[in-house]
Amino acid sequence: MAPTPRAIVYSSPFLPPEWIAAHGWTPSRRRPGPASEFEAEGVCRFAAGFAVLAGPDIRARVFATTCDPMRRGAEIGTDDPIPRFLFHMPATWQTPEAHGLYREELKRLGRFLERLGGCAPTPAGLMEQMERFEAARETLLARREILSSRAHAEEMDRFHATGEVPSGAPAVPRPKSAIPLMLLGSPLRADDLHLLDLLDRAGGWVAADATEFGEREWPRRFDRRRMGEDAFDELADAYFGHMPAIFRRPNGRFFEWLADARNRTPVRGIVFAAHPWCDLWRAELPRIREVSALPVLSLHLAGEGNAEGAWTTRIQAFLEMLA
Ligand code: SF4
């Protein structure tokens, strides 16, 4: 009989899947599905959906306090029988105390995973997971070049949800003439992914996914020497010490990343999408326009239906302008 899957779902890319896997669990980031009853005022659709993600394999939910709606999400649906863990994520990052708190929270998460039935990680086991996830990220990054926006997002989703690494010929290759774009903003829910179909159909291609499910919020490459000395310390630094994110204070590193992104990936425009109630992203739109110095198409992720007709027209007009 196949072993029962043991998945821990987690809300933020700042929670290293390597750490969860080293405790014997399957780390799983998933896009929430259709509307949840908790999409009340002040809770964005992504956070509300994460709070009620369902699946027979889910053994615990890990929320990170990266924004008020996600913090609120941890409080709703508390008759949920699935154990919850609230990870206190420091917004600041420029002091040793903030780095120390992040490390302590990782250790506290580790104790929670052990209490649930996981194993205590060994340095060798953690290093093995770090090597595995880093190799997978590099494979996925290379495959972006050959896949349509939608096909690549689906491969990324399988990796985030199960750790599966894609291989073989692309099912849906990208047309060579497609216009390279950056996708930026709130993480898309499963229902929002048709945005990528619209971009592909209109002659665009997401050359850089700068949402939470894309490569912007990946750790820096692991340093093998430091990893050999102290794998946990290297893991924490590669994530908390280096990842740009909109929730960090100050969030200058995000804008440095954005300014550099133009040199690394020659995108011709930015498609910006944000959920209702996501003040973190909406507040930064003017500065995103200024720093990127690129044309920006701003779309509202309004949920069911998502005004598909209006999106289609605006996306087509945007890509015609960039052509
Ligand atoms: S989309 Fe915005 S409000 Fe929603 S969870 Fe992400 S950062 Fe928080």
Q: What is the mean pLDDT of residues 305-311?
A: 68
The protein residue whose alpha carbon is closest to atom 1 in ligand 1 is 186
Assess whether the C-beta atom of 67 lies below 6 angstroms from ligand 1. yes
The protein residue whose alpha carbon is closest to atom 3 in ligand 1 is 278
Assess whether the C-beta atom of 281 lies below 6 angstroms from ligand 1. yes
pLDDT digits over 234-290, tens only? 999 999 999 999 999 999 999 999 999 888 888 999 999 999 889 999 999 999 999
pLDDT digits over 15-44, tens only? 999 999 999 999 999 999 876 666 666 788
**What domains, with CATH codes, occur in the chain?**
7-122 (3.40.50.11890), 125-322 (3.40.50.11900)
Q: How far, in Å, from the CA of 275 to the mean position of ligand 1?
A: 7
Q: How far, in Å, from the CA of 64 to the mean position of ligand 1?
A: 11
Q: How far, in Å, from the CA of 258 to the mean position of ligand 1?
A: 19
Tell me the three-class secondary structure of the chain, residue by residue: CCCCCCEEEECCCCCCHHHHHHCCCEEECCCCCCCCCCCCCCCCHHHHHHCCCCCCCEEEEEEECCCHHHHHHCCCCCCCCCCEEEECCCCECCCHHHHHHHHHHHHHHHHHHHHCCCCCCCHHHHHHHHHHHHHHHHHHHHHHCCECHHHHHHHHHHHHHHCCCCCCCCCCECCCCCEEEEEEECCCCHHHCHHHHHHHHCCEEEEEEECCCCCCCCCCCCCHHHHHHCHHHHHHHHHHCCCCCCCCECCHHHHHHHHHHHHHCCCCEEEEEECCCCHHHHHHHHHHHHHHCCCEEEEECCCCCCCHHHHHHHHHHHHHHHC
pLDDT bracket for residue 306 (50, 70, 90) = low
Query: What average pLDDT does the chain have?
Result: 92
Provide the whole-model pTM.
0.95
Q: How far, in Å, from the CA of 186 to the mean position of ligand 1?
A: 6
Atom of ligand 1 nearest to the CA of 185: 1
